[in-house]
Structure 1
Amino acid sequence: MADQSIIRITKEIGEIQKNSDLSLAVAFRDRDVRNVKAMIIGPHETPYEFGFFELIPPTLPDYPRKSPAVTCTTTNGGRCRFNPNIYASGKVCLSILGTWRGEPGEQWSAAQGLESILISIQSLMSSNPYENEPGFENANEAVDKANQQNYIAKIRHESLRISVIQKLENFLGISSTGDLSTPTEYDPLADGLDLEDPSIPWEPFKDLYKRRFLWYYDTYLEAIKQAKKEVKDGQGFVRMPFEGDNNTMNGTFNYSGLEKRLQKIKVVLNAEVDRWAIEGMSAKNKDTTVPVNLTRQFDQIKESFRRDDIPHNVELEQNNPFVWILTYFGRPMTNFDGGMFRIKLNFSPRFPEEQPRVKFLTPVFHYRVTPDGTLCYIPNPNRCDDVKQHIEAIFHSLEEEAPPYDPRTQVHPEAHKLYWGSEEDRKIYNRKLRRSVQQSMEDF
């Protein structure tokens, strides 16, 4: 049974890793497929919006005949209950996990799997999580309405503070006061340590969190701006009827402090790519594998543009294979027609374990580009080591003619609202985009 369990969970993890769902991620240590970590990104328009919530779904010898026990580890050290059904201890109450009674047909079956578990947990992260409380339907309506608002307010604050800010500060070596506690984040590889050593902290989603933070930075700031209208700094959290002494969410609001901490993280992340460039040149001088690989790919892509008569171009900044400058010419008969944009691709010395950071040097008004130029694009998950695949994904993200509505990729708040608003809003969006395209030629 144990072998069947390992085969099953290996297959399930592979399937999740191959798809392009931006809300879920799973990883395991190569030497033990049963050592799994999972991640859920909080849904749009909920108090959990774009928060990073980690879980440990250990497999059992008789999985999938029996459901696995799932533990949420994003609990601020066991001090924060993020949902009536997600306890401060990390326990997750769901009928399919056998930790909560459910209606017939809601119990676990072998036809379900890790992905269905994660989606079920994500469904708890609703716009009104107070409704997950079993006594919700019988509560006093007036008191209940106030409790719902108070509960949403404190979850929104703590999702930002714990699942986003605290997590990134730990990765980057920033104290909660905004000071750098270490010159740079600790890199076990630099010390020649084995990342599979159980004594080394295992953070498989670190790079993902950094890139997503840059995508959603302006959304976080917008959430703070709106929240400041509803609560005041220093105001205490309201305790809910279902919260116990060791299973609660206590604290006070401090959105001004959270805003400063977000800004500090952004500064440090922007500086990180400068360090990559310096480290990259050192690696190039030593003729190590990554710069050799990037140089080879650069030469091939540059030649393919020339050979296939493609108008785009790539150059290396200061002959550094870790810093590419891509010149993108807008495709005829699109909103980008007549535009010319310079885009910087910064590569890590640990590429492809750390993925490229892509930023527009030429300003553009687009729902996939943040106000400061960070591009949200989705590379082929099975070809993340292929730079050409990254470039093609960049072009696709800009030129999509009928994109599906997906707020996880809408990283410019104003452009997002205009593009998906009324017919008149869409016209305003198109005018702003065209104006930035026309301006792009004047900037060259």
Structure 2
Amino acid sequence: MSNHSIIRITRELAELQKSTDLSLAVACRDVDVRNVKAIIIGPPDTPYEFGFFEFAVKFGRDYPGKAPTVLATTTNGGRCRFNPNIYSQGKVCLSILGTWRGERGEEWSSAQGLESILISIQSLMSSNPYENEPGFESANDEADKKNQKDYVAKIRHETLRITVIQRLEEYLGISPSGAVLPTAPAVGEDSDNDLDSLDRELLDESSVVFDPFKDLCKRRFLWYYDSYLLAISKAKTEVFDGKAFPRMPFESTGNCMDGRFNYRELERRLKLIRTTLDAETERWAQEGLSSKSKESSVAANLQRQYEQVVESYKRDKSVTLDIELVDKNPFVWAITYFGRPMTNLDGGLFRIKLSFSPRFPEEQPRAKFETPLFHHRIAADGTPCYTSARPEDAKSHIEAIIEALEEESPPYDPRTIVNPEAAKLFWGSPEDKKLYNRKLRRAVQMSTEG
């Protein structure tokens, strides 16, 4: 591969990794920029909503003169076709990739890149994916309309089952039955991605054990947990458990999405994942104390950061914070935030727990509001939705939490909505917004009554 090609790929990866786009993430091993892993988080208001869809991208030596090869790896071991254009064997049919015939001007050009490829794939994940099937425009009869509805229903189910639940169970080392596995799977081993059935020319052995999105998916699961439950609650009113998935006209044996609806089971597994994740966060505290006793570099780093952050906020008069370590453990910070004057939070007193992993910053901290607060960026269980500009810097996490909390006129972005009830009011009618503000102010008042 030429130096020009390597420089181009490296630049594209860096730009994507610095991007604030919450829907895309990419990673590669430092020694091999030709083999890239990418994850697309399913768009809101579609049957793919907040699912984790992974792809393997291989750049040839002639890139960018020729498009890279792209393979979908979230296929339930080659058994699930998530889209008319994303096959169960992993093939992604797009004119930009040269894997599908397209109109003139839709083919690959060197002006395009990895981001445009991922956005094109993401565009397939629409509210009506049936329309991606060739011949859709001429199909308007009642049977076709029923197929469209049925197709959406089974994609929603399998998005939850395969891309979210199976993935998180694998990460956490729990079986679908709820039993704890004897040993956690090796990093990168994913029951959804049975690589034996895929093109070995595309995936080398090193990439099989490379799983860079583990922590990202765990954090996003915590963000979107209530949305997953809401999707299940809605779906249970539309389909009956035990009903077989109807097969679509374009599906065939070996390239389809077969199965049965079982939302009651998915709900049970989803709640177990949440419980297990919470227990994992609690274990960090004990692991942290052990790490501190061994005088690890992570413990020393967090202790130093804690001391610097405390001093910094003593000098910063624009915000009032009290920060202390829980049980003198540098891996657990107790933050008391005092609502800024002249805002809806004025007079409030909110306790936030910030838990750090002994593997920080590879595993990002998990924050939780222990004081209830009705807010569209704070889940009902207290999990805040925020992104840190400097993931390795503890102060950056605190700043990002406060910024998300205090932002008065945020742009509407459903990817940052972690409290569906609050969001519906915040972006609803004027009367809805008034009700939102009343609920928020009531929470602020109650924050000092304990």
Q: Amino acid of the residue matched to residue 162 of structure 1?
A: I
Pick from 388, 392, 407 the counterpart of residue 385 of structure 1: 392
| 1:84/1:242 contact within 8 Å kept | yes
What letter corresponds to residue 377 of structure 1 in structure 2? Y
Q: Distance in 2 between matches of 1:396 and 1:37?
A: 31
| Shift, 1:2, TM fit | 2.9
The residue type paired with residue 423 of structure 2 is: H
2:122 alignment partner in structure 1 = 122
Matches within 5 A, 1:297-376: 297-309=305-317, 310-376=319-385
The alignment of Structure 1 onto Structure 2 pairs a total of residues equal to: 434
Letter in 1 for 2:309: I
Q: Give the 5 Å matches for 1:180-329.
A: 180-182=180-182, 198=206, 201-309=209-317, 310-329=319-338
Comparing 71-80 and 138-147, the one that deviates more: 138-147
Distance in 1 (CA, whole Å) between partners of 2:241 and 2:60 is 46
Q: Distance in 2 between matches of 1:367 and 1:344?
A: 19
- Cα distance in structure 1, aligned partners of 2:138 and 2:315: 71
1:365-392 Cα distance to aligned partner (Å, 9 max, x none): 0001110101111100xx2111111111
Distance 1:277 1:184, change over 3 A: farther
8 Å CA contact 1:365, 1:432 repeated in 2 = yes
- Which of 385, 410, 414 does residue 417 from structure 2 map onto? 410
Deviation at 1:307, TM superposition (A): 2.9
Match status 1:162 vs 2:162 = yes
Paired with 1:349 and 1:3, the residues of 2 have a C-alpha distance of 38
For each residue in 1:45-81, what CA deviation from the matched residue of structure 2 results, as whole angstroms up to 9, or x when unmatched? 0000000000011001001100111100000000000
Q: 1:186 to 1:321 in 2, by over 3 A?
A: farther
- Aligned AA (1:96): I
Distance 1:369 1:408 in 2: 13
RMSD (Å) for aligned C-alpha atoms: 1.5
* In 2: Cα distance, 1:307 partner to 1:391 partner: 16
1:264 and 1:184 map into 2 onto residues whose CA distance is: 16
Q: Say whether the 8 Å CA contact 2:187–2:210 is kept in structure 1.
A: no
1:81 aligns with 2:81: yes
Q: d(CA) in 2 for partners of 1:163 and 1:288?
A: 35
State the 1:197 CA deviation.
8.6
Structure 2 residue aligned with 1:13:
13
Taking a change above 3 Å as real, the CA distance of residues 197 and 96 of structure 1, as seen in their structure-2 partners, is: closer
TM-score using structure 2 length: 0.94
Contact kept? 2:323, 2:333, Cα under 8 Å: yes
Residue equivalent to 1:193 = none
* Residue type at the aligned position of 1:81: R
After superposition, the Cα gap between the structure-2 partners of 1:53 and 1:199, relative to the gap in structure 1 and judged at 3 Å, is: closer
Instruction: Give the counterpart letter for 2:278 in structure 1.
Output: N
State whether residues 174 and 182 of structure 1, in contact with CA within 8 Å, keep that contact through their aligned partners in structure 2: no
Q: Separation in 2 of the partners of 1:200 and 1:59? A: 17
Contact 1:130 / 1:151 at 8 angstroms: preserved in 2?
A: yes
| Distance in 2 of aligned mates of 1:184 and 1:147 | 40
What is the rounded CA distance, in whole Å, between the counterparts of 2:73 and 2:132 in structure 1?
20
Counterparts of 1:78 and 1:28, CA distance in 2: 23
Segments of 5+ residues of structure 2 without an aligned counterpart are: 189-203
Alignment check: 8 A CA contact 1:335 1:433 kept: yes
Alpha-carbon distance between aligned partners in 2 of 1:58 and 1:213, rounded to the nearest angstrom? 28
Q: Note the alpha carbon deviations across 1:251-275, whole angstroms, 9 max, x for none.
A: 0000000000000000000000111
CA shift, 1:304, in A, is: 1.7
CA distance in 1, matches of 2:346, 2:163: 41
SS in 1 for 2:384: coil
Amino acid at match of 1:22: L
* Cα displacement string for residues 30-52 of structure 1 (whole angstroms, at most 9, x for unaligned residues): 11111210000000000000000
Identity %: 65
Partner deviation per Cα, 1:398-436 (whole Å, 9 max, x = no partner) = 011210110111100100111111111111111101100
Matches within 5 A, 1:66-105: 66-105=66-105
Letter in 2 for 1:384: P
Contact 1:215 1:370 in 2 (8 A): yes
Answer yes or no: is the 8 Å Cα contact 2:186–2:209 preserved in 1: no
- Equivalent residue for 1:430, pick from 434, 437, 449: 437
CA deviation map 1:132-187 (0-9, x unaligned) = 00011222511110000000000000000000000000010110112111366657
Whether the 8 Å CA contact 2:245–2:258 is kept in 1: the answer is yes
Cα distance in 2, alignment partners of residues 43 and 312 from structure 1: 36
Q: Does structure 1 residue 139 correspond to structure 2 residue 148?
A: no
- Tell me the amino acid that sits aligned with residue 397 of structure 1: A
CA contact (8 A) 2:187 2:209 kept: no
Structure 1 CA distance for aligned equivalents of residues 253 and 376 of structure 2? 44
The 1:185/1:86 distance shift into structure 2, 3 A limit, reads closer
Amino acid at match of 2:351: R
Q: Deviations over 1:303-347 (max 9, x none)?
A: 122233442110000000000001101111111011010000000
Structure-2 residue corresponding to 1:191 = none
Looking at structure 2, the residues matched to 246 and 186 of structure 1 have their Cα atoms a distance apart, in angstroms, of: 28
Equivalent position of 1:441 in the other structure? 448
Length-normalised TM-score, structure 1: 0.96
Equivalent pair of 1:42/1:50 in contact (CA under 8 Å)? yes
Q: Secondary structure at the match of 1:170?
A: helix
**Secondary structure of the equivalent of 1:321?**
strand
